[in-house]
Amino acid sequence: MTKTSNYTAKSPGPDGFIVYSDDEHAIWSQLINRQLNCIQGKACDEYIAGLAKLQLPKDRIPQLAEINEVLIKETGWCVARVPALISFDKFFSLLANKQFPVATFIRTWDELDYLQEPDIFHEVFGHCPLLTNPAFAQFTHLYGQLGYKASKQDRVFLARLYWFTVEFGLLHLQNEWRIYGGGILSSPGETQYAIDSETPERKPFDILEVLRTPYRIDIMQPIYFYLESVEQLYDICHLDIMSYVNKAKTMGLLPPKYPPKVPQQAC
């Protein structure tokens, strides 16, 4: 979160309204219509219910006030406008105060299929529907509270908990796979891969293993951890998560399930 960004978040005018170009609205429309088709039969019911409540427009980028009107009513959360990249302190502080950070820019056509940094489509389409769900909202709130108080080293371990739940979490329901992680739900490639591919491992959620499992952000995930229901997030909230972080630090990381990243050669 300390890296520089190629994007600049947009600021609202005096009326609080953020103006996007026709081209930016067209990108949103392409992304949301494509992904709505992709997640059919793959997204969890709680996510689909959240989408219905948000009623995200298909022809334009929504204003954050529209999102907040629903989230505040449902779970007391809201979204907060942030620059393209923010510090970990700011990130955890926002979550601890039930504010989900949303960078008010959208990717370009050149990066339509994959963008390393989160844009408004990823944050709003990927995460906001489940913020209407009490279990998901409580888990995210607790995560922010723990992260805000944690040391720099502890935050590295906590990041894996977020990655394998909020971003890349799966559900296993009556022998069927469903998605609740926003990093999957906002990506057509990862949606297909997470559900249909025989390549990745899918393992039941074990907090100690999750905290010790390395990941990379620039590849399809080699491993997903799954819950039996979204309500299981309540059970995780009742664990002494930081005691598991301390144990994970003592035990060290598990061997990565991906090859090392090959550095780019200078031309």
Dump pLDDT digits (tens) for 40-53.
999 999 999 999 99
**For residue 1, what pLDDT is reported?**
43
Mean pLDDT, residues 157-170 taken together = 98
pLDDT of residue 252: 97
How many Å apart are CA 87 and CA 94, to the nearest integer? 11
Indicate whether 212 pLDDT > 50.
yes
Cα four-point dihedral sign 48, 67, 191, 255: negative
Annotated binding-site members: 122, 127, 167
For residues 131 and 258, the model is more confident at: 131
Contacts of 184 (CB under 8 A, 6+ apart): 167, 168, 170, 190, 191, 194
Q: Looking at the predicted structure, is the pLDDT value of residue 173 above 70? A: yes
Mean pLDDT confidence for 81-104 = 95
Q: Note the pLDDT of residue 3.
A: 59
What pTM does this model have?
0.94
Tell me the binding residues for Fe cation: 122, 127, 167
Give all domains of the chain, ordered by start, each with its CATH number.
Answer: 22-251 (1.10.800.10)
